[in-house]
Every structure is written in C-alpha cells, then in structure tokens.
Structure 1
Amino acid sequence: MEIFIKVSQFVLSLSILIVLHELGHYIPAKIFKTRVEKFYLFFDYKFSLFKKKIGETVYGIGWIPLGGYVKIAGMIDESMDTEQMKEEPKPWEFRSKPAWQRLIIMLGGVTVNFLLGIFIYILMMNIWGEKYLPTENLKDGIWVQNELGEELGLQTGDKVLSIDGEKIERFSSLFIEFVNGNSYTIERNNEIIEKEIPVDFISKLVDTEKEDANFLALRIPFFIGNVIDTLQNANSGLKAKDIVVAINDKPIKYFDEAETEFNKYKNETVTLTVKRESQTKDIDVKLDDNGKIGVQIAMMPESDLEKLGYYSFETKTYNFIEAIPVGINKAWTTFSSYLKQLKKIFNPSTGAYKGLGGFISIGSIFPSTWDWQTFLSITAFLSIMLGVMNLLPIPALDGGHVVFTLYEMISGRKPSDKFLEYAQVAGFIFLIALLLFANGNDIYRHLFK
C-alpha cells in the first residue's frame, strides 16, 4: 500500500506538471493562430492508451511516462516530422510566424512552470503558514553526527553564522546550503572561524550510506523513547519519556554530551539522574563495551522542546495578500538553490554528478502516506526544477529553441531547417544519454548501496 501511495503521488504530480507545461505552449500557439496537431500526456510511440481528435488537434495519453508534448505544425520537435518541413510553409505553421511569436510560444511552458511553483507556494503560505527554527535560536550550536561533518570541518557546538557570505535564517536550510556552498563562517568558543567547503564534499556525501548522510542535526535532550527489554538495563527502572539530566552527578543538557560521558565508563556502572514528569530520580545502569545502555532515544515534540527552554520556534500565518510576496520569495529561493546544484553537477571535480537521480529518486521523495501539504511542496519544487531544466540551452529542450530564435532575432538570419534537424537529433541523443545515466545511478544505488 505504501508503494502504491508513493507511485500515485508521483504519477499525479508528474501528470499535472506535464499537462500544464504543454498547455503553456498550446495557449500562445492558438492565440497566434498556429496549428497544434497533437497534445499528449506521455509519449505515444506506436500506439496510445487514449486519443480523441477535437477540431484540428488530437488529444491523447501515451504509454511511455517520460514526459509529454504538443506537436506544433511546421516545427522541428521531438516528433522529427521532417516530411512536413519539405513542403512549402503554410500560414498556420510555426515556421511562418514572426520570431517574437515563436519565442513566446517556446517560453510558454517554462513560464507556466515558474508561475505554478509561485502559485503553490502562495497557496501553502496562505493555508498552513510557516513554522521554523531560526538558526539564531540555536544558542548551543549544532550537533555534528558523524565523520562526514568532521571532514567538513565542523564540530558539535559550532554556531553557523553564514555560508558563502549569506546569513542562513533557518535551521532547516543548513544542510542544502552546505551542499550548495563553497565556504562558511562559524563561531566556536567565542572565536570567528572561516573555512572552505572541500570541492569533493558532495562526492563523499553521495558515497556515504543513506543513514549517515545527514551530517548535522539539532542538539536534542537525552529523551528515552524505549527501553530495550532484552538488554542489560531492562529492569533498571528506566522508563520511556524519561529525560536524562545528569551522569554521576555531572549535569548534561544534550544527548551528545551523554555520549561523551558514556565513553569514559565502558563496562562500568553509572548513576543516571532522570527527570520523570515533575520528579527527579537516580537510577544505576550498566554500560556495555561500546558505552551503550540499551535504550532508544526519541525526538521530543517541538512544544515540549519550547516548554523546557531548549528552542524557540517561529510561527507565522498569512492572509492571501500577505502570502504573495512570501510565496514569490520561496519560489526564488528554490530557483536559486537548484541553479547552484546544477552548477555543482556540471563541475566534474565536485563529484556531484554521481548523485544525479532519475525516476526512482524523484518518486522516493514522496511520502508513504498521503499528505497534501507535502505533496504540494514537492510538486512546487518539481515545477521549478522542470522550468530550470527546460531552459538549459540544449537542442530538443525549450532552451535550445529559445537560443536559436534569439540568434535569429539578433542576427537577422534564421538557422536552416537542416541545421535545426541535426541539432534536434544531437540534443535528443544527449538527453537520452543523460536519462540513462541518471536512472542507471538510481539502479546502482538501489542494488549495491
């Protein structure tokens, strides 16, 4: 059932994005009286799952879920209908239209993608608002969970002041900003330190096991979620929801401090002071040879973290008018972040290309339970991502057509149909290779990592 829900969300999101993107080409084409011969969700090589002709246009659903298309008369596109191009241009064909009209038709798809992303973010801000943890409220810094964070140059307790010279307002943004960034500034023991992010950091991140990839986290209290009844302290008196506040009378505030203390007492007995509701108890526990006591920690609810004075979260609500600039800013931040990621991917020295993913990666970001807020957030991100990708100056993408049209408008010379045909084939081969590489990465990670 969980897989079904994930796949359903993925297919619905993809279908919405494809149909609206193609509608972005279709509408200006019709406005400029350009004939649209086909409008398809998914590709229909050899046959269609559904098709119906209305007026001059065949509307349908193909069986290959790799995208969609509108076939515009007189245009060299993914249909590669070169026979049509051998005939004399007709007034209703794309190639007969002025360059400025053709430019608007080609930019229509990505324009819709960006507008859709903005609209969804505005809608989300209006309906749900925002709740986040400002980085300035991390009074005791971050928790560095593994060697990956240490190789980056971070230590538990560091306060991140900026990345690439820009202050990071929200804790939730730290991870992706480190991935996208080149340098950072921290405060450590009242000293300001500037460090470079290693060029191959993303490569190491991709090669890291999934459970170890999150190299930084909130410093959390030692909040017991479960006492494992088969281990040494099952009958010690520890209970779920106990908060460990001291070890051998040494006060601790965070779980990472407890880990440090436990490493001093491997295979020994220590006394834990725990807070249980309004009471405080001392409980003796035995550590194993790894410095563990046989309990599972849990994340305390945000309301309790605030109540106990660990963190102060910001909550903001917006009416529709107030949500507009907030939604636009969220879309711009997403757009900028994705551009930074692309820059890393196209720089071989970063190794970021190893993290390139295909349909499995995209599908996996959807949750296993249906949640409209999460679904809309992912759809908005994918819409902006699709807009950026289609703007790349690669033949066979909208960006490639835009480049050729701009060249024509500036130089006054239109590229020949034969050149456009060869460029389309080259671009299509490149995209197929990229698609195979990305999905090959997915299969490799799924089978071997």
Structure 2
Amino acid sequence: MEVFFIKALQLILCFALLVLCHEGGHFLFAKLFKVRVEKFCLFFDPWFHLFKWRPKKSETTYYVGWLPLGGYVKIAGMIDESMDTEQMKQPVKPWEFRAKPAWQRLLIMIGGVLVNFFLAFFIYSMVLFTWGETYVPVKNMTHGFKFNETAKSYGFRDGDIPLRTDTRTFKSFDSNETVGDMYRGISEARQVVVWRGGKEVTLSLPGNLNMLDMMKANPRFVLPRVPFVVDSVKAGSPAMKAGMRRGDRVVAFNGKPVSDWNDYTYRMGQLSDQLTHLNEAQADRLRNVQLVVAHAGGSLDTMRVQLDADLLLGVYNQAPDYQTVTRHYTFLESIPAGISHGWNVLTGYVSDLKYLFSKDGAKSVGSFGAIGSMFPSTWDWQQFWLLTAFISFMLGFINILPIPALDGGHAFFLLCEVITRRKPSDQFMERTQTVGMFLLLGLMCLAIFNDLVRFVF
C-alpha cells in the first residue's frame, strides 16, 4: 500500500505541475493579447470544486478541482469544452477571443503546447546540470549481448556489441530511453555495425523491422548478456537445500544448456508455461528440476532441486562489473545537452506512435494506471523529473494533434482560416467540438479498460 501511495503522489504532483504550466501557457498568451480569461481551473471540477479565489479588480476566478484528469481555462468569446454557446449569441466585444486576429488566436491556442515543450527541454537541461549523467557505454559491456533466433538470421551472434547504425550511434543500454533507442535504431536500420572479436563487423538489415514484435518476442530480439554466477544464496531456499554456494554457475537446466542468466530465465519461463494447466501433484513433480552446477573450483555437480510454487531458486546473481562513465555539466553546457537529449526522446516517442494503430499497440494505450506505474516505488527526484519531462512531451504532442476539442483541432481550423481567409461558422465549431469530445471520451474509455485488464490479469 505504501508503494501505491508513493506512486500516486508522484503522479498527482507531476500532473498538477504539467496542467498548471499547460493552462498557464494559454493564460499568458491570452493576457498578452488582452483577451479576458474568465476561469482558470487546476484539475476538473464537475459538480463542485475544492478551492475558489478571485483577486480584487481581476476578471479571472481561480479554481482547484477534485478530478486530476486535466484542467482548463475559460476564455471569453471562445467555443471550448464548456460548450457555452449563449455568450456567442451576444455582440462581439473587444476583449473576446473571437474579436482578435487569427494569428493571435492561434498563439493563444498553441500556448499550452509551447510551454509543455519548453518545460520538457528545460527539465532535461536542469537534470543534467544537477545530477550529470552516469552510464555504461555499450563498448564497456564486455560480455556483449544475447540475440534470439530472428536476430541471428540477420547475422547477429551472441556476444556482439551493437555500436551504431546508418542513422544513429548507440550510447548505452541501461535505461528505458537507451533500450528503446537501440530497438528503434535496429528496426529502422539498413546497416548495423557491431563489435565482434576485437573488430567492427557490418551487418545488413531490411530497414523495416517491427519494433513491437522485436520487444515482445520471447526471448527478446536483443538483451544484455549476463553471466550466471551466484553472488549469494537465500537462507532456507531450494538452492541452499541443494548445496549451492557463492561462485557457482548453472550450466544446464533439465538437460538443456545454460550459457548465461538470460538462458536460465528463459528456461524458467518455459517451465512456468508448462505448469499453467497442471494439477498440484503434476506441478509438484515438474518443479523438481535437474541442474548441472559448475563450482568455483571447476568441478561439476548434478543436483535435483525442488523449486517452490513461485519457481524461485533462491539465489542472487552477480551483477556485471562494467566500467561506468560520469559526466558533469556546467549550466551553459547543460542547455544544449538537455535540448539534444530532449529532442532524441521526443522524436523517438513520435516515431513509436505508429504502433498504436496495430493490435498490440492499441492494447498498450493506458490512462493513469499505466502512467502511474512508470514512477519508481521509492521517491527519487531525478527519476521524477525525467518522467515529468517525458510526460510533458506526451501531453504537448497529443494536444497538438488536429483532433477537434484538442488545442491542435482549434489550431488546425485557425490555420485554415489564415489560408482561406474564411472563418468557420460558430455552428460548425460547436459540432466539431462535440465530435471531438466523443472521440476523446472513447479513447479515455479504451485507456481505462486496458488499465483494468492489466490490473486484474
């Protein structure tokens, strides 16, 4: 329960900051062009709100809602999600949104997105300035990588280290961003350069591999190769009862070779699949496995191990002792470095959106449950800010899509007005706003349904 509250608190704090900045972008541009903002609301407030304040001599009332799904600003003379059409029937007033030229209205509409993008780049820069970056360069991963049969059909070999493609260079493989960068790079590449046997080897690829298929494959297309060397044995565990000790290596599992930790976890996954439809007696017999263990002195020992119901052997594996690189940035150095890093994250996110239109991609759509699970189970300010920057990009890009009811929908019609010099009718805008809201509601229902499926199953 404590983990749930820590994740929930991080999620709410993140959304509060991003909604405040996004709506603040609309607010600032509206004020810049002397457009009246009637209401500024942090979080949605159906039926009631938690806080209300109106400064003296101000036309804006500030609210804090109770539903942390977003927020809004109500701008005078604009058809928005409030669907207040009565105001539009009155004569146009000089302080209203509809009284301003199209270019000013366009900037007001994209103001929130601009702030989201600026905020993300700023956060990435400040994270680099505050913490620097520590990572393991791919060439320092001396055990190399493990590849599945599909990858090997393209020429990869276990132990290869991917260095670069014809479009990008791989920096590391120790975070979600760098893992995604390598999968994305290989999927789009026509040539991949790997480090093999002390020299560079170039492989040819088709350039259109499906990244989702690569990542969901079992085993995955590419993973870091981790040797199976026991670091410690848990007291009372099946491993301790069988006589395993520090320095041991499992080299075979039920007669099948195990060359590293990757092989072992794959064999255990296969065993788990076999247990799915068995009764308890059958499962108990199948959990009695045969291991061939190489001891630190070089001797081999064949042993029977009775695994528990969770299929846990009860050993902790030694982490590879790779040499890390740490770089610190001055304030001036952090700005271009943060922008470069942020741009790489943004372009990667946009590139991956095409997979949403596939069956597996649609299943990945999630709402607050999926986003909340991204946050760490312990409070980590560096990770919090990195995730906040990423979600700020997400919020900004989604909002700029040309979908009615989103900022991008309004911006699209304003661009059409600038080009054609014809303003859409209020009735047309009302109808498109309604259609857009139904589309968003449908997408939200899909996201919540996917979250529930993940939670239950």
Query: TM-score when scaled to structure 2?
Result: 0.80
Deviation, structure 1 residue 232: 6.4
- Distance in 2 (CA, whole Å) between partners of 1:369 and 1:213 is 29
Give the Cα–Cα distance (whole angstroms) in 1 for the partners of residues 228 and 162 of structure 2: 23
Give the Cα separation in 2 of the matches to 1:429 and 1:103: 24
Q: 2:228 touches 2:249 (CA, 8 Å); kept in 1?
A: yes
Residue 224 of structure 1: aligned partner: 230
Q: Does 1:339 align with 2:340?
A: no
Query: What is the aligned counterpart of 2:443 among 429, 434, 439?
Result: 434
Q: Does 1:234 align with 2:234?
A: no
Query: For the residues of structure 2 that align with 1:148 and 1:296, how far apart are their CA atoms?
Result: 31
**What is the deviation of 1:400?**
0.9
Select 1:316's aligned residue among 295, 312, 327: 327
Unaligned runs of 5+ in 2: 253-257, 267-287
Letter in 2 for 1:320: F
Of residues 398, 409, 413, the one that matches 2:418 is 409
Partner SS for 1:434: helix
Choose 96-105 or 67-76, whichever is displaced more: 96-105
2:132 maps to a residue whose letter is G
Asked if 2 retains the 8 angstrom alpha-carbon contact of 1:132 and 1:315, the reply is yes
1:314-347: CA deviation from partner (whole Å, max 9, x where unpaired): 21111111111110111101110110121221x3
> What one-letter code is carried by the residue in structure 1 that aligns with 2:366?
G
Contact map agreement 1:238 1:283 (CA 8 A) in 2 = no
Moved more, 10-19 or 165-174: 165-174
SS in 2 for 1:376: helix
Distance 2:362 2:66 in 1: 29
List aligned pairs for 1:96-107, cutoff 5 A: 96-107=99-110
Could you say if the C-alpha distance between residues 368 and 215 of structure 1 is closer, same or farther in structure 2, counting changes exceeding 3 Å? farther
**C-alpha displacement of 1:401:** 1.0
User: Secondary structure at 2:86's aligned position in 1?
Assistant: helix
Other-structure match for 1:65: 68
| Offset at residue 447 of structure 1 (A) | 1.2
Could you say which residue in structure 2 is the equivalent of 1:195? Answer: 205
Distance in 2 (alpha carbons) for counterparts of 1:162 and 1:281: 38
The alpha carbon displacement at 1:219 in A equals: 2.0
Q: Which amino acid aligns with 1:156?
A: D
Q: CA RMSD in A?
A: 3.6
Confirm or deny: 8 A CA contact 2:238 2:314 kept in the other structure: no
Name 1:421's counterpart in structure 2.
430
Distance in structure 2 (CA, Å) of the matches to 1:233 and 1:374:
35
The Cα of 1:259 is off from its aligned counterpart by: 9.1
Aligned counterpart, 2:181:
177
Distance 1:214 1:364 in 2: 22
Contact 1:99 1:409 in 2 (8 A): yes
Which secondary structure state, in structure 2, belongs to the residue aligned with residue 46 of structure 1? coil
Q: CA deviation at 1:271?
A: 6.4
Map of 1:297 onto structure 2: 316
- Gapped regions of structure 1 (runs ≥ 5): 261-265, 275-279
Equivalent runs, 1:126-275 vs 2, <5 Å: 126-144=129-147, 156-162=158-164, 165-172=167-174, 173=177, 175-177=179-181, 180=184, 182-184=187-189, 185=192, 187=194, 192-196=202-206, 202=212, 216-230=222-236, 234=240, 238-240=244-246, 242=247, 244=249, 255=261, 272-274=294-296
Calculate percent identity across the aligned residue pairs.
Answer: 41
The residue type paired with residue 355 of structure 1 is S
Query: Per the alignment, do residues 299 and 338 of structure 1 end up closer, same or farther by CA in structure 2, a change over 3 Å counting?
Result: farther
Post-superposition offset of 1:372: 0.6
Equivalent AA in structure 2 for residue 29 of structure 1: A
Residues 37-94 of structure 1: per-residue CA shift (max 9 Å, x gap): 0000111122212212222111111222210000000011111111111111110000
Number of positions where the alignment pairs a residue of Structure 1 with one of Structure 2: 419
Cα deviation per residue 1:89-141 (whole Å; 9 max; x = unaligned)?
11000000111111111111011111111111111101110111222333442
Contact 1:225 1:295 in 2 (8 A): no
Matches within 5 A, 1:47-62: 47-54=48-55, 55-62=58-65
Following TM superposition, by how much is the alpha carbon of 1:444 offset from its aligned partner in structure 2, in angstroms?
1.2
Q: How far apart are 1:284 and its partner, in Å?
A: 4.5
Q: Counterparts of 1:56 and 1:382 in 2: how far apart (Å)?
A: 32
In structure 2, what is the Cα distance between the partners aligned to 1:138 and 1:178?
Answer: 14
Assess if the C-alpha contact under 8 Å between 1:99 and 1:408 holds in 2: yes
Partner of residue 14, structure 1: 15
SS at match of 1:222: coil
